[in-house]
Structure 1
Amino acid sequence: DNIEMTVSELQKSPINYTQIAVLADDILKNVEYDALRVVFNKFHSVISFKPTMTTILSPEVMEKESESGKVGDLDSYEIEGGETKSEILQNLTEFQFSCVVYNAALENACSELGARMSAMDSSSRNAGEMLDRLTLTYNRTRQASITTELIEIISGASALEG
């Protein structure tokens, strides 16, 4: 298994299906494959995501597996328009791949935003706790200073009386 291509920083600007379809088409035109594997982070919750891999078989492999009975029968549907089964499989594979890549991009975006929300929540909570500790320290120091001044005033008054 070789990694032929990696795509990063898709989230720099909002993405849409058209951009992903162009990227998927570029990949399919420039990579010869039996199976394409798309690896992405699948979103589970704000604090949880799971690395996931999805496989897309090439039209040729899909046709061979259909003929050998490993996948459902592809001939159970009537084909209109004069396209051959291999042409239809090619089109379906291209569409499936672009949908899988788009889904992967959306899952990654959700996972990233969840991780950011969790990090910001933790930061806000930590900042609040730090502010509480600093306020307590400030109030204790101020109270000690006032107590010291009162002791000095009382001591001075006692010395004058005495």
Structure 2
Amino acid sequence: MFTRAARPALKSASAVAVRPALSNNYATLREIEGRLKSIKNIEKITKTMKIVASTRMNQAQRSMQSSRVYGQSSNKVFEEAEAKPVEGGKTLFIVSSSDKGLCGGVHSSLSKAVRAKLEVNPNADVVVLGEKCKGQLGRSHPQNMVLSFAGIGKDVPTFATAQAIADQIAQLPTQYENVQIVYNSFLTPVSYEATTIDAFSEDAVKAAANITAFEISDEQLPNLREFALANSIFWALAEGYACEIAARRNAMDNASKNAGEMIGKFQILYNRTRQAVITGELVEIITGAAASAE
């Protein structure tokens, strides 16, 4: 038998033991409330980024349409001339990415496509436009990278930017017989595909079967090739920018939905924990009052 003095302590201890344990390892209401507040702040950010991407989408698509006209028109000359890559020549891959993230697998798909090409042609050189693919390819194939450009993708691409990039590439000391531009081709607002554009060298153009029909002189050929390269880079940058904006909008939409689901779960957890704390405190008060009455 317990003495009268020991009964209040015993009842208080039993009440604490009965109190339900908090789930998900959150010990206090303050921790749950802090977690809930941080998720709500993240949801605000993702919704804002989705709105910004949606407003830029129309402008990106207009730029993409105009760049396609430039790129396809200049490449049609080489298609009609039946120009073909030089077999066994030195190859250069130009990867068109950007500096920004939070846009799904836009950049990783390009890096994956370039890695597959480097497995077939391990001696090829790589020029990267943008820091994202530079970081990814720099870890796997640093020996193949010869040039990179930063500050890509901050705004809608322009032909002046593409021309400046083409000038820097033309100044590389190595003579490349084959140049391929790897970029994300815009299919729909929710899908894209890594695609390649061939930028032929002067030797490849001279060896084309029907190049004589265009009456291009040897003095004009270098200018035509550099102009076509700039057009193709502009096309790749504009398509990649549109893919990035669309992918970021979709990614932020999914992130906002996930944040909303987490907010609902944590709100339920908060309410249940708060109710458990209140119930536990009431049990302690009643138990203490009963013990005092005895």
TM-score normalised by the chain length of structure 2:
0.42
CA RMSD of aligned residues (A): 3.3
- Aligned equivalent of 2:213: 76
Deviation at 1:75, TM superposition (A): 3.4
Q: 1:42, 1:108 within 8 Å by CA — same for their partners in 2?
A: yes
How many percent identity over aligned positions? 29
- Do the aligned partners of residues 26 and 141 (structure 1) sit closer, same or farther apart at CA in structure 2, a change above 3 Å counting? closer
Deviations 1:64-92 (A, max 9, x none): 123xxxxxx33334x5xxxx622232222
User: Deviation digits for residues 89-142 of structure 1, max 9, x if unmatched?
Assistant: 222211110011111111221222222112111111011112222334445566
Aligned: 1:118 with 2:250: yes
Q: Are 2:129 and 1:7 aligned?
A: yes
Show the counterpart of 1:152.
Answer: none
Q: Which of the pair has the greater relative contact order for Cα pairs under 8 Å at 6+ separation?
A: 2
What letter matches 2:189 in structure 1? V
The count of aligned residue pairs is 148
Instruction: Say if 2:190 and 2:250, in contact at 8 Å, map to a contact too.
Output: yes
SS in 2 for 1:5: strand
- 2:27 maps to none
Counterparts of 1:116-155 in structure 2 under 5 Å?
116-139=248-271
Identify unmatched segments of 5+ residues in structure 2: 1-90, 92-123, 131-149, 283-294
Taking the aligned partners of 1:13 and 1:95, their CA distance within structure 2 comes to 22
Maintained 8 Å contact 1:46/1:117? no
Q: Determine whether 1:61 maps to 2:204.
A: yes
TM-score by length of 1: 0.70
User: What is the identity, as a one-letter code, of the residue corresponding to 1:93?
Assistant: R
CA contact (8 A) 2:186 2:192 kept: yes
Query: Which 5+ residue runs of structure 1 have no aligned equivalent?
Result: 67-72, 150-162
Note if 1:102 corresponds to 2:234: yes
Q: CA deviation at 1:146?
A: 8.7
1:95/1:146 CA distance change after superposition, 3 Å: same
1:5 and 1:142 map into 2 onto residues whose CA distance is 58
Contact 2:156 / 2:238 at 8 angstroms: preserved in 1? no
